[in-house]
Each structure stands twice: as C-alpha cells, then as structure tokens.
Amino acid sequence: MASDYRIADCALIGDRRTAAVVASDGAVVWYCPERFDRPSLFAALLDPAAGAWTVEAGDARPLRRGYLGDSAILETRLGTPQGEVCVTDWMPVGDGAPAGAICRQVAPAPVGIRLVLAARPDYGRAPVRPARAGKAVHLGAGQAVHASHPLQIRKDVVVFELPPREAGWMVLGPADMGAPTPQALERWRETTRARWEALAARSPYEGLYRDTVRNSLRAIRLLCHEETGGIVAAATTSLPEIPGGARNWDYRYVWLRDAGMIASALLRLGGSLGEGEAYLGFICSSRGTSPDYPLPVLATPDGKAAPGEERLPLAGYLGSRPVLAGNGAGSQFQLDAFANVLLAAKLLYARTEDRPHWDTVAAVADFVAEHWHEPDHGIWEEPIRRQYTAGKVVAACGLDSIAEFAPRAAQAARWREAVGAIRRFVARHCRTKGGAYAVFAGSEAVDASAALFPVWAYTAADAPEMTATIAALERDCSPDGLLFRRHLECADARREGAFLAASLWVAQYWVMRGETERARRIIERVLACGNDLGLLAEEADMACGQPLGNFPQAFVHAALVGAVIDLAHAAPGGGPSVG
C-alpha cells in the first residue's frame, strides 16, 4: 500500500547530523538516526507499514505550523472542536545538548492526546521488540524513548497518553542517553534556539524576499552535516520525479555539482565566510577518495565514496518503485561538477587574500583543462555520454575565473589556452540550426541549463544565440513561460514536472536582461510550488504545482537564493521585503 502522506505536508527538523520529516498532522514520517544516510527508523513517507510517530487527539485536523524565529524548532497546531493542540518538535544542537535526539513537547490542551511510536528499524526490515528499561522503553537499533508520563507497550508500538489540560513530553534518543528532566529539556530547547539564531546571524539578510531567503538558508543548514561541512542534496530517498514511475533516487549524499552551486549561494550573500569556506573545505577534503577523479562526484556526509544502489522492500511514495538506498552516479564523469568547484573557489578568493585549498583547486583546474574535450554524462546525469554544451561552457568559465588567482603565469596561461579551445569547440559544434545553444554537440534540442551561460559570464544575455536559446526554451520546455522542464535524452522529460532550479536560472537570465518584473513572476511562480514553510522539492507538477522529487532540495534553495540576490541587486528597494 502506498504512503498516505504527501510531500507538500512535510516539514523538517534536524540537528545538523541528520533530520526528521514531520507531517502537517504532527506525525514523524521519516527519520534516519545518527546520520542522513543511515537506515531509517521511521519511513511511513514511503510505506505506511515502515514506521511513524503519530499524534492522536480525537478528530484533530492540521491548523497551522511554523518555525520559531530563524530556528529549526517546529510548532504544529492541530484544531479540535474543543480547542487547539500544540506540539513542538526539535532536535537538540549546541553546547551541552545531547546528540541524536528528537524532543516532542505537548502543551496543555482541552482534549486527551495520544502519541504512538511505531519504530521500524532498518527500513522496516529489522525485528521490532520494544522492552522496558526502568521508566524508558528500548526500541532496538540503539534507540530508546523517555517520557513525562508512563509509557505503555502494546504489541510492537509504544503509546504515550496525556490527559486533558496537562503538559507532557517524549524524547527519542540513543539507548545510553539517560532520562532527561523537565529542566534539562527546557535548557536543550533554549540552547538549540540560540544555536540556530547564531547560524542565521552569519548571513544577515534584510533585502527583497527576506523571509524567503531566510527559509532557504534554514533548509540548506538543515541539510548540513556540521561535523564535516558537507551538505546533502536532500533529506530523503526515492521520492519520485514521476509519480508511480521508476525514476527514484537516493539524494542523501553530497554532490560535487550541488556543492559548488550551494557554496556560491552562501558566499554571494555576504556576511561571514564561514559556511561557504567550510563547504569548500569539505569538497577539497574528499580529494583522494575517488579512483578516477581528483574529487568524488558524490560522497557520503563524511566525505567517503557513496555506496551503490540497493533496492528496499518498501511500497514507495504513490506506489513509485524501486525504493533505493545508495546511488550509482558516483562512477560518472560529470565535467560541470568539477567546473562548479572552480566557480565557488573564485568567489571565496575574491573576498580574502588567502587561498585556502589551493592545491586541490589547482588540481581540479588541471583536470578540467586536460579532460574538457571528453564526452560526459552531463548536468542531468544521463546514462549515455555526450558532448554536453553546459559542461563545456561552465568548464571555460571556471578555468577563466580561477586563472586570475594562479600564482604562476604558466599555470594561468595553460588554463586560459583551454578556455580558448573550449570556446572554439562550442562555437563550431554546439549550436542548433536556429542559432540556439544545443543541449549537446549535434543536437537540435535545448536545455534550461543554458540560461546560466550569461550568469557564468560566458556570453552576453542579449547575444543572438542566447535570444534564440530562450525563445526555444519557452517554445519547447515551458507551457506558461514561468516554469521550465529540463531536457533528457534517455527519458521523456515531458512526463516530469517543472525543474524548479532550472526555472530560477531562467529568472536570473531575465534579471540580466533588465526585465526584473518578468524575473519576479518566475520567482513567485516557483514559490507557489513550495509549502506553507517555504520548503521546495526538486520538481513541481506543471498543472497543479504539487511538489515532486526528493525534499527539501538544497540545489533548488541555492538557486532561489541566487535569483533573489540578482533581483535585489538589479532592483534595490523594490518589491516586498518579506515573502
């Protein structure tokens, strides 16, 4: 049986090691203890039999929810005929806070409330044997639950019952954590809020779409493995690009391409260099872990090579199978991924006289200069290799931008020589008959990634080839001129939803053309595809805007930050200050 929950219902809490997905009815429907890519304890988002931590309060219905300030402390309010039920969820972070815990506080309510914890370790494959250990209940898989009121074990679930007009709490954490006191719980909550507020203060933003940018930064930070600085692509696996289809991937890893774009977004915001530099540090620290490339194309949150794909025995979101753990894209050659590292390094080096990680950055530049002419798998990780235009273009831009920081003239000259060769190749082979940039050499199709070419400073936004490209994109990839599909060679992209990052790249293009109102309409259309907390998935249904793909998508939130920054620079003081 397929999951009863929908992506739009989802919120995220986390401790910057892992994260939990909380539905609008208060249920925890996805959680992998210890780290993003560990086996799940709750997976009802993918299969109703795979575990959840639900809230029951008569005929309560979702009313409203929100994060407290800039923190990741989530407050969910449910409505009943007798009045409101309020549940506050968070994962402790900060000095003195325990690692790997989920805290749930329930405010006094006019009705009795029941919390039911159905743990299903290892994606539902491990046996479930809750057992008492004093006042706590051990769940197996190294986890235990504590509560303010007596816990009951009913078969293989743990039940917590709270009488009307009483406050209560439950805490799920490592089996050796020890029982918290009410005072400790309050202390953890305040420490957690202070930690998140301190993170927000690193990149203060008060410009256009202030709340939108802050929401996106929270999403990106929730996906960060703080110990290493790696930022996973999303918190989930196998949420489908096509409902009921087979294009389902595990996004709980750090993609080199995404890393470059996310680091760029963090650095462009100004404020502290810390997060952007930490992310670039994570990227460079993984040097030597790939047998084929200077850096791995994708890595685990601790910088090791990502495992291959394993099929899981889960029903799948809306019946979408296979459900996977692991990702097989790590063996692919993705030219644009390496080039994006150079663009991120350039932004960092432009703001400081230091050249952190220069040896690794230079090794990446040498690799790009030596291998740019080879076919690769492209930005969309196609199973076949082509001479993808976007990869060539960003390679040229990355090499050109990093050459200005080279300490040796010969090194810079070698990279710039490759830039010239790439430009000649693109001019000769990567145009359609109509003069647009082709998705790859010899193709007559176009792809939305070309909207980034002026953003990367490869060409002018009003150059004839860009004008032709955007016209072809609007004709072939966008029914409304606001949301855009990507182009796929090995699948029918028309069955997919809009690719939200690509739509935001088109918005950036229109900013560069001076058409800020047009860019604003695209941004607003993308925002309408988010949920009530401003969280965005990878894609959205073209017709109804419902989110598709893994959630929340760091790549999309980085693209949103980039588009808003460009719009703010082009139209200072205009438009909403919140949104």
The pLDDT > 90 percentage for the chain reads 87
Per the domain annotation, does 466 fall within a domain?
A: yes
C-alpha count within 13 angstroms, C-beta hemisphere, residue 379: 27
Q: Residue 533: name the closest of 63, 199, 74, 29 by CA.
A: 74
**Helices of type H across 30-141:** 121-124
Same domain flag for 360 and 231: yes
Residue 181: inside a domain: no
Mean pLDDT across the chain: 94
Residue 577 belongs to a domain: no
- Residue 576: predicted pLDDT: 40
Residue range(s) defining the domain that contains residue 387: 206-570
The answer to whether residues 241 and 125 belong to one domain is no
Q: Is the pLDDT of residue 387 over 80?
A: yes
Sequence length of the chain is 579
What separation in angstroms does the CA of 154 have from each of 157, 170, 448? 5, 17, 53
Residue 575 pLDDT class (50, 70, 90 cuts): very low
Question: Are 468 and 553 in the same domain?
Answer: yes
If one counts the domains in the chain, the total is 2
Considering the domain architecture, whether residues 110 and 158 belong to the same structural domain is answered as: yes
Express each pLDDT in 465-515 by its tens digit. Answer: 999 999 999 999 999 999 999 999 999 999 999 999 999 999 999 999 999
**Domain match, 367 and 453 both:** yes
Whether 326 is covered by a domain: the verdict is yes
Residue 116 and residue 242 in one domain: no
Which of 8, 92, 4 lies closest to 54, judged by CA? Answer: 4
Helix (H) or strand (E) holding 251: none
| Residues 28 and 73 both lie in one domain | yes
Per-residue model confidence (pLDDT) at position 271 = 63
Alpha-carbon span 277 to 99, nearest angstrom: 25
Structure-token match 């007009």, residue found: 165
**b/e map of 227-238 (b: 16 or more CB within 10 Å)?**
ebbbbbbbbbbb
- What residues have CB less than 8 Å from 96, skipping those under 6 apart? 187, 188, 191
Residue 108: pLDDT over 90: yes
pLDDT at residue 491, rounded to an integer: 92
221 shares a domain with 161: no
Q: What is the pLDDT of residues 277-314, one digit of tens each?
A: 887 888 888 888 888 899 999 999 999 889 999 999 99
Residue 579: predicted pLDDT: 46
Q: Which residue has the higher pLDDT, 84 or 273?
A: 84
Average pLDDT over residues 190-218: 94
- Regarding whether 370 and 286 lie in a shared domain, the answer is yes
**Does any domain span residue 277?**
yes
Question: Three-class SS of residue 178?
Answer: coil
- pLDDT of res. 577: 37
Domain identity same for 45 and 129: yes
Is 274 inside any structural domain?
A: yes
Is residue 129 scored above 70 in pLDDT?
yes
| Residue 516: inside a domain | yes
Q: How many CB atoms lie within 10 A of CB 365?
A: 29
User: For the domain that residue 126 is a member of, what is the CATH number?
Assistant: 2.70.98.50
CATH number of the domain residue 558 falls in: 1.50.10.10
The answer on 321 and 460 residing in a single domain is yes
Residue 31 counted as domain residue = yes
Q: Which of 122, 119, 85, 86 is nearest to 102 (CA)?
A: 119
Question: 395 with 469, same domain?
Answer: yes
- Separation CA 196–CA 326 (nearest Å): 30
Q: Final residue of a domain: which of 197, 229, 252? A: 197
Flag whether pLDDT at 264 surpasses 90: no
Domain boundary among 148, 165, 197: 197
Q: Final residue of a domain: which of 166, 197, 228? A: 197
